[in-house]
A and B are shown apart, each in its own frame.
Chain A
């Protein structure tokens, strides 16, 4: 295991190199020590998460190509940032995703079929955000950072911060979103009100087709300084570092010490969405360079080197991933069309007389067609 150290300014916090070499710990500029000490079982678990999340995502992409989903935003290449941060969340922590956080969703214990219903157009997403502490996918770029800020301010008002068991909130967004007014407003509010919030920016280098240099003149994590809270850049293809940095930032927040901006430096290996053709705006050599930094390969190399896992384990994980993706496919193809009456579900948390009335009328309206051609 390599010695620990401090990342030079602008460089990444990294605990697992692309070659699979462990770095014991990294000390941030504020003295925070980042380390990830897992049991062998936990290391294997992280690997399993990464492989399954990638396989399910690939299945969803295939289903879109086959006409079974309207659109899909693949997370390919960003598995470590999502699994690392997702596993760092504690059960009481609340997450606000974009539409690409399938890996975080998986770590929250939500059935991976749920977002497929959304992109198949048969439901609105399907999971209960309160039950899973995972908000609905937000399509509007950056809007969820404001929702998260308001939620986090509420956590403070409820007096749920300041202890080791306090609550924290995490908001996911991308590099492109940092150019949005919403995100900058969220930075201001979270900073000024010391909200228990982690801004988790997956910098995947492209805002659809616009490269990072069209978003910023300085490394994104340094933007936090101007808003009055710390920022840190982590190797987003390193699941251990992503975990450690997120965990530290969440703890910082739950203790009432305010927000942190994490820039998870990663790469979107696939298209922005299935509607996009990345070969039109980026070169193959760049993609190849990032393939060498693959988030899964390095964990596997580490597991093999440390003899934490054997060939039978890897085969078993692959088998499980295949099984789960086939299962996912079968269930997607069987998804029923929604009943129009579900329109009225989940409008108010405790119901509403007006909505009840509308539901009843709509039911009568639908019933009036029965037995007739109207």
Chain B
């Protein structure tokens, strides 16, 4: 047994996975006694002093103060017999060989898993997440048990493989006891499947029913389906196949969220004048039959502001940025089938009246579920009207290929400072997410500010911009 003993950070409180080294109370070279406080460690539950597990001389401190250490990692090494002269420097090899807490001595085999180094067993000591200390040790024949445990965890990482590897009869059979629950063991026995030949896909590499069934059928794929169907249809869970709009939405959101770095900026706007403008428009003879909504005016603002800042209407194409001089304005619409984003082609060329008609048609078509696929592709800039659901703002995810999306919050009567006085005004929140690869914060802010300026004072802005 080595003189140098390595003290691993224990689980100080039933299921903790890490602790922060607050303060070392000893230094390398210090002679220390058993149970002398050596370090203050703070966990999620408490800040505690850890007493030395062995007396001797401190030969190595593995982590500086302020470090967060995973449970099970060595934090201090102690020469337990410094009087005997120079001790070998602790090395990676000695760390591995000494494993944990050698003071426990030999342990009788008892558990089903066979002999286990003490610190790897039972409830105490080293928490649930440590790579070496938690998993059931697997030793190769002839190798000392002490060396085997922490060095090479054969068990695959917790993330299960997509498909259980096909068994290779006669080859790759582990001599170790495989992890499997008793019903799975029974199934394997009944089917004549040797658990030792399988690689488990369950937690901690345990072998599941599916693994056994797959092995029995000589392959992985075919058995997966029936075994899934065999899951009892519990009344407390519902299983919805992922397809159609849901599947498309999911793919688009994931594709966008994990490729375009999103930034969202917010602006609160007094749009009382816009609301007044809508009221005035409604009484014009030509507009009697037309549906005029705040969304229409926002769409106009988005289009006009895009003319002033063309880069927001662009696409990241890897080695180049495609800036478009047309706007296909997408409108996110909630339908019975789910979220769809049809767009109005060349919306920037439409008059306000034309835009109103297109918007009405788009919404009606979407609600009836008859939006043709062509209407849903080729969008360049998108509005999502979250205000219709009664919320004020969101951080929308970009439709793939677009570089900006504007969320339109609910228009509310709010106290607002207007011309030096607190008045009740109609206020909304705008949020714009943009692709930070293309749009810097300054451009994003300027663009959203222009959209807000239009809503604050549409008449003056129109005169100034056009």
Contacts and interface: CB of A to CB of B under 8 A. Distances in A.
Our verdict on whether A and B bind, yes or no, reads yes
Interface of A: 58-59, 62, 64-71, 120-122, 271, 274-277, 279-280, 326, 333-334, 336-340, 365-366, 369, 372-374
A62 B51 contact: yes
Given A67-B101, A121-B122, A337-B110, A374 B178 contact: yes
Contact of B104 (A121, A334, A340): A334
B110 A366 contact: no
A373 B172 CA distance: 13
A62 B116 CA distance: 24
10 contacts: A58-B35, A67-B125, A122-B122, A274-B12, A333-B105, A366-B112, A373-B195, A374-B178, A374-B185, A374-B189
Contact of A333 (B7, B11, B104): B104
A120 B107 contact: no
B424 to A, nearest CB: 46
B49 A65 contact: yes
B45 A68 contact: no
Given A366-B112, A369-B177, A66 B50 contact: yes
A161 B194 CA distance: 64
Interface residues of B, number: 48
A336 B108 contact: yes
B206 interface: no
Interface of B: 7-8, 10-14, 34-35, 45-51, 53, 101, 103-105, 107-108, 110-112, 116, 118-119, 121-126, 173-178, 182, 185, 188-189, 194-196
Contacts of A366: 112
Closest 9 CB pairs of A and B: A67-B10, A121-B123, A277-B46, A373-B196, A67-B125, A275-B13, A337-B110, A62-B51, A66-B53
A69 B124 contact: yes
Contact of A276 (B10, B45, B182): B45
B119 to A, nearest CB: 7
Given A121-B124, A333-B105, A373-B177, A67 B119 contact: yes
Contact of A337 (B121, B188, B189, B195): B121
Given A275-B13, A373-B178, A373-B194, A68 B189 contact: no
Contacts of A372: 196
B110 A120 contact: no
Nearest to A325: B35
A275 B14 contact: yes
Given A65-B49, A69-B124, A374-B195, A340 B111 contact: yes
B111 A337 contact: yes
A279 to B, nearest CB: 7
Contacts of A120: 122-124
Contact of B110 (A64, A276, A339, A374): A339
A373 B189 contact: no
Given A366-B112, A374-B188, A337 B107 contact: yes
Given A68-B10, A279-B47, A337-B122, 15 more contacts: A65-B49, A66-B51, A70-B14, A120-B122, A120-B123, A274-B12, A274-B48, A326-B34, A337-B121, A365-B182, A366-B112, A373-B175, A374-B185, A374-B188, A374-B189
Contacts of A66: 7, 10, 50-51, 53
Contacts of A340: 110-112
Task: Give the residue among A64, A67, A69, A274 with the most B Cβ atoms within 10 A.
Answer: A67
Task: Give the residue among B14, B35, B119 with the most A Cβ atoms within 10 A.
Answer: B35
Given A67-B8, A373-B194, A275 B110 contact: no
A120 B11 CA distance: 13
A71 B13 contact: yes
Nearest to A326: B34
Contact of B46 (A271, A365, A373): A271
Given A120-B122, A120-B124, A369-B177, A65 B50 contact: yes
Contacts of A338: 110
A288 B47 CA distance: 19
Nearest to A275: B13
Contacts of B119: 67
Contacts of A334: 104-105
A67 B122 contact: no
A70 B123 contact: yes
B45 A275 contact: yes
A67 B195 contact: no
Contacts of B34: 326
Contacts of B126: 67
Nearest to A332: B104
A366 B185 CA distance: 12
A67 B6 CA distance: 13
Task: Give the residue among A66, A369, A372 with the most B Cβ atoms within 10 A.
Answer: A66
A366 B182 CA distance: 11
Contacts of B48: 65, 274, 277
Contact of B124 (A68, A275, A326): A68
A20 B328 CA distance: 91
A279 B122 CA distance: 31
A67 B194 CA distance: 37
Nearest to A373: B196
A58 B49 CA distance: 13
A115 B195 CA distance: 38
B107 A277 contact: no
Contacts of A122: 122
Contacts of A279: 47
Nearest to B110: A337
Given A337-B110, A339-B110, A62 B178 contact: no
Contacts of B8: 67
Contacts of A280: 46
Contact of A277 (B47, B101, B104, B112): B47
Contact of B103 (A121, A333, A336, A373): A333
